[in-house]
Every structure is written in C-alpha cells, then in structure tokens.
A and B are shown apart, each in its own frame.
Chain A
Amino acid sequence: MSDKVNLTIDGRKLEAPAGSTILQAAKDANIYIPHLCHNDELKPYGACRLCVVEITHRNRTRIVASCIYEVAEGLEVQTVTERVLNVRKLVIELLLSRNKKSQVLQDIAQKLEVEKSRFELDIKGCILCGMCIRTCKEVVGVNAIGYKSRGFTREVATPFDETPPDCIACGSCAYVCPVDFIQYSEKNGVRTIWNTEFPMQKCTKCGRHIAPVKQLDHFKETLNLPEDHFDICLHCR
C-alpha cells in the first residue's frame, strides 16, 4: 500500500496521507467542518459529534464522525447534505442544552440556523468533550483530572472532588476548554484553579510573578533544568 490515498470531499479530488482522518484532509483543503473536541496536538477522540459527514460506500451512504474516520482509497465524502445538517442541528441543540451561554456554541448554532435548543436542561456548562483531560494527559503529561461517574451524572472532576495532588496549575485545561467552562484566576501571587490555591514564583529582580511554583518545578524536572533556572523572569533576562 502506498503512503497516500485519493479521496473526494464535496466533489474535490484530494490526496491525503494514509492513516489520517477525513477532518484532517478537509482542513488541509480548506473545507470547513465544524468541530469542538479536535485538536491537532491530541489523539482523535470523537466526542462532540459536530464534525459528522456523509460518506458513500457501494452506493450506500453513512453518517460518520470525520475526526475519527480514517481516509481510504476512493472514499467519497459529502460535508454538507440535508442528512448531515440534520444531525449537526440536533447535536448543537443537545450541546446548547448543556451550555446555552457559550459564544462558541451560539456561533455554530447560528451558522446551522438553529435559533433555540428544544431541550431545556439545567446543567453547569461542561459539554464533556474531554479536551481538558486529554490535554492534561497527552500534552502536559500530568494526568491530574479525569472523568467521574458515568452516564447522566458524568462530569470532569479532580480525584475525590478535592485538591488535585498532581495538578501543576498550568492552566492548560482552561485554555483548551472550547466553552470556557474551566476558569482560573490570579490574584496577589496566587493562581486559583480547581478550587485550589497555588502560590506563584516571584522574579528575584523585578518582583513580578512568573508562574505557579509547581508548574516551574514540573518544567525543571522534565527538562532537567538547573534549580535557579526560573528565578528571573523573561523581562529581566
């Protein structure tokens, strides 16, 4: 088998590396597919279901999630069909029912011409896309947060809903959260995230706060940096 495969997306003939996903191929060809739980730095996951497309195989069509469906030779993909839009509309309505205030979700809803969610739920706002958990595990390499429980009661949580022992307060989870559900604040040299206060390191020269001590310790440990590497902030170097 060769390393490249040929496929068609919305009638355009494209070439994509074998083993990549439809979403990747579409992105490379500047074809828009809405998505929330995908990030190039993370392994494909397929949680939000917004990226559904219709594929044709032996004269039959099927709805698949493009972010986890691998490209194949001769694959025919339609990103905008009635069936696809119907599914996406339902998905965005369900997502909105979990977080109706999110601007990102509202923008996608507007594009899909969905005005209001038919489902009224009083859920805190997490859409359970798992971006935070996967980033913490795959990118940061810390694994401080995870899912808790399952089904309707599933949520992202720290172990035992208490101070996360492994957390380095880097804020990556808040950064990747597509609906800004995870928040952190900084005040008087203390970063507060996951209901925990993390003291921050002060620059020995200018006295500005650089980053949480635990985060800098983590960098020093993983990158084998000298103990005083972060004593002076970027501005003073």
Chain B
Amino acid sequence: MENTIKAIVEKYDSNKGFLVPVLQDVQKELNYLPREALDLVSKFLKVSISQVFEVATFYKAFSLEPRGKYQMALCQGTACHVRGVPLIVDHIERTLEIKDGETTEDLMYTFETVNCLGACALGPVMVVNEEYHGKMTIAKTDKLLKKLGKEGNA
C-alpha cells in the first residue's frame, strides 16, 4: 500500500493543495479510505493527520468504511419521490437486508439514497457504479439486482 500511495502523492508533486485529488485517487484505488492509507497520505504529503481526517470526513464522496463492489445510489429528489421512490427504497432495503448508507457483509452491495441526480425526467433514477438506470420500478429493480447476482428473498 505504501508504494501505491507514494506514487499517487508524487503524481501531484507532493503538493499539499492537492489533498482532495490525492484522496480521490486513493479511494479509486482501494475502494475506500482505510486508516493506514490516511496515515500514509499524511506522512508523504506532510499534512497533519487531523487535517487529512477533517477533509476525509467532510466530503460525502469519501468513505472511511469499506464499500461494496456494486455501489447503488437511489435518487430521492422531488420528481423521483412522487413517482414512488420510497417503495423502491423499502424493497431494496428488504432484499439486501441493509439500511440506507450501509454495505452488505459480503462487500458486494452498498446502498445509499442521494438527493438529486439531475436526471429528473428519467425519475425514479438509480445509479449503479456510474451507470444510470431510469424509470425504475420494483420489477425493474428486481431484474437489475438479479443481473448483479442478488436473488430477492423477500
């Protein structure tokens, strides 16, 4: 891990101002920000660990917990809401047996709700690993989960 992070930090000339891009790259590489990684970023970038921790906890895009292989973000915007997102949230939570914002134990799925994905015409929208799925229904959600390898058991 040490070499990976050293390489990322050096890509940005060890410039303190690039803390956020460095953390973004680290997260892309490791899927989340483990504690050792933050310690190493602090060491190589010469930024105090308290500051690295502050930035890493400030942005929602950073996760200090391991995330699933499939990251699902379900839109909760007004347009999606009136088209029945609450039912889909319920359905996913029951199928995956996790709550909003959690990750399944086998590290396969992370499910979270977000406030608007900016694709209201397609509502309800769900993004799985940066791929948009529009006009979601419970049936379509089941189909999608099946494709991702999860059979509904509820």
Contact = CB atoms under 8 A, between A and B. Distances in A.
Interface of A: 142-150, 157-160, 164-166
A185 to B, nearest CB: 22
B48 interface: yes
Given A160-B35, A160-B53, A149 B48 contact: no
Contacts of B50: 143-146, 158-159, 164, 166
A223 to B, nearest CB: 20
Interface residues of B, number: 11
B115 interface: no
A225 B54 CA distance: 33
B104 to A, nearest CB: 24
Question: For the complex, would chain A's binding face be called helix, strand, loop or mixed by DSSP majority?
Answer: loop
A148 B50 CA distance: 9
B49 interface: yes
B53 A143 contact: no
Question: For the complex, would chain B's binding face be called helix, strand, loop or mixed by DSSP majority?
Answer: helix
5 contacts: A143-B51, A146-B54, A159-B38, A159-B49, A166-B48
Interface of B: 35, 38, 48-54, 57-58
A216 to B, nearest CB: 21
Contacts of B48: 142-144, 146, 166
Most buried by A among B50, B53, B54: B50
A146 B51 contact: yes
Nearest to A149: B57
A166 B49 contact: yes
Contacts of B57: 147-150
B51 A149 contact: no
Nearest to B54: A146
B49 A165 contact: yes
B102 to A, nearest CB: 17
B53 A148 contact: yes
Most buried by B among A145, A146, A147, A159: A159
B48 to A, nearest CB: 4
Most buried by A among B51, B52, B57: B57
